[in-house]
């Protein structure tokens, strides 16, 4: 037996149980399996596709006070910043209120009470959240150095900057005594506007903290004979050494063949190519030793 139709105004948006009951929807209809009840007091049409972060935020916004806004990891994800897969899949959203209001408590959210200038609350796609610079500073209390640099790299990327490195420096300078300020102070000096993935940022942090010279990031090389151009992840021009991070998308047969041809062309032009993966990043000491050996050999040669 098919559930009875809902009022048309509920067909394409989340709605609260209270407004549905006011519109004459019965309690039994609200328990029907075609409705998603993942957030207490809310309903939305169930779909085979997972609910997007935007829709989850819009749903929860119906249940929290009007002045509340999304912050921390949720704000970062709304901005598109790279975080861990575990964070991206978390069912709990970070919701903040401005002090002195009481922090929100619910199994559906992580509540925060922030001393904040409300000019640091912005809106994306109709969803209120902390600004890019404020979000990055708030994350400094929870993220590792590599992850904080990766978020910063994304936020200032030259192709679509959301904030600036100077603004992040200003935030750090104004955050004396704040939890996470020490890691933020180190991270802001490591942020660059050319990194294009979270692992690339992690690898650069390993290299710089390990005392190696900082490589060029995604720098275009043009082959003088063919005119072909490539943009290696990292290169040490004096030693003609290239580091390439190979993520999982390189596993396809087509990408694998393209990578082989690319490497062959680079090596024919005199470059030495080291291909690295996630396992290499798990042992920074061994990785640094290996890269130093190659750099030393290339310097002599």
**Same structural domain, 132 and 224:** no
**Same structural domain, 233 and 142:** no
**Same structural domain, 185 and 60:** yes
pLDDT of 48 strictly over 70: no
**Same structural domain, 36 and 89:** no
The pLDDT > 90 percentage for the chain reads: 60
**pTM of the predicted model, to two decimals?**
0.84
Residue 186 lies in a domain: yes
**Same structural domain, 184 and 59:** yes
Lowest mean pLDDT among 1-15, 58-72, 187-201, 230-244: 1-15
Residue 1 lies in a domain: no
Strand order in the sheet with 15-16: 15-16, 42-45, 35-36
**Same structural domain, 176 and 84:** yes
pLDDT of residue 10: 85
Residue 175 lies in a domain: yes
Residue 103 lies in a domain: yes
Residue 282 lies in a domain: yes
CATH code of the domain covering residue 227: 3.40.960.10
**Same structural domain, 213 and 244:** yes
pLDDT of residue 226: 60
Overall domain count for the chain: 3
| Domain residue limits at 238 | 198-300
Residue 3 lies in a domain: no
pLDDT of 2 strictly over 80: no
pLDDT of residue 301: 57
**Same structural domain, 204 and 272:** yes
Going by pLDDT thresholds of 50, 70 and 90, the confidence category of residue 53 is very high
Instruction: Give the end of a domain, one of 130, 158, 190.
Output: 190
**Same structural domain, 108 and 152:** yes
Residue 129 lies in a domain: yes
**Same structural domain, 163 and 92:** yes
Strongest mean pLDDT among 31-40, 120-129, 169-178, 245-254: 120-129
Residues 208-242 have pLDDT tens digits of: 999 999 999 987 776 655 657 778 889 999 999 99
pLDDT of residue 75: 98
Residues 262-274 have pLDDT tens digits of: 888 888 888 999 9
Distance CA 170, CA 131 (A): 14
pLDDT of 108 strictly over 90: no
Residue 290 lies in a domain: yes
The pLDDT mean for the chain works out to 90
**Same structural domain, 14 and 37:** yes
- DSSP letter string, the chain: -PPPPPPGGGSSS-EEHHHHHHTT--HHHHTSTTEE--STTEEEE--SSPPPHHHHHHHHHTTS-TT-EE-HHHHHHHTT----HHHHH-SPEEEEEETTSPPP--TTEEEEEE---GGGEEEETTEEEE-HHHHHHHHTTTS-HHHHHHHHHHHT-TTS-SS-HHHHHHHHHT-TT-TTHHHHHHHHHH--S---SHHHHHHHHHHHHTTPPPPEES--EE-TTT--EE--SEEETTTTEEEEE--GGGGSHHHHHHHHHHHHHHHHTT-EEEEE-HHHHT-HHHHHHHHHHHHHHHHH-
Q: Please state the rounded mean pLDDT for residues 250-277.
A: 85
**Same structural domain, 87 and 158:** yes
């Amino acid at each position: 037996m098919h559930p009875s139709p809902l009022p048309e105004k509920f067909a394409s948006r989340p709605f609260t149980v209270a407004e549905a009951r006011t519109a004459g929807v019965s309690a039994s209809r609200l328990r029907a399996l075609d409705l998603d009840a993942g957030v207490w007091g809310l309903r939305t049409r169930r779909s085979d596709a997972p609910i997007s972060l935007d829709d989850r935020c819009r749903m929860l916004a119906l249940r929290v006070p009007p002045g509340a806004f999304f912050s921390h990891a949720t704000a970062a994800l709304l901005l598109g910043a790279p975080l861990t897969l575990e964070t991206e899949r978390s069912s709990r959203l970070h919701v903040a209120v401005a002090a002195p209001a009481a922090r929100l408590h619910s199994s559906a959210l992580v509540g925060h009470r922030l001393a904040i200038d409300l000019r640091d609350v912005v809106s994306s796609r109709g969803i209120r959240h902390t600004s890019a610079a404020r979000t990055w500073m708030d994350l400094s209390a929870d993220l590792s150095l590599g992850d904080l640099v990766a978020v910063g790299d994304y936020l200032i990327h030259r192709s679509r900057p959301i904030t600036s490195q100077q603004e992040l420096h200003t935030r750090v300078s104004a955050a004396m005594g704040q939890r996470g300020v020490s890691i933020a102070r180190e991270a802001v000096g490591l942020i660059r506007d050319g990194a294009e993935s979270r692992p690339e940022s992690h690898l650069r942090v390993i290299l710089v903290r390990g005392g190696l010279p900082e490589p060029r990031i995604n720098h275009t090389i043009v082959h003088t004979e063919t005119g072909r151009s490539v943009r290696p992840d990292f290169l040490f021009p004096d030693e003609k050494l290239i580091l390439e991070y190979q993520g999982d998308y390189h596993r396809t047969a087509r990408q694998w063949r393209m990578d082989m041809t690319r490497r062959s062309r680079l090596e024919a032009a005199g470059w030495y190519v080291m291909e690295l993966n996630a396992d290499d990043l798990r042992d920074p000491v061994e990785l640094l030793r290996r890269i130093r050996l190659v750099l030393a050999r290339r310097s002599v040669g």
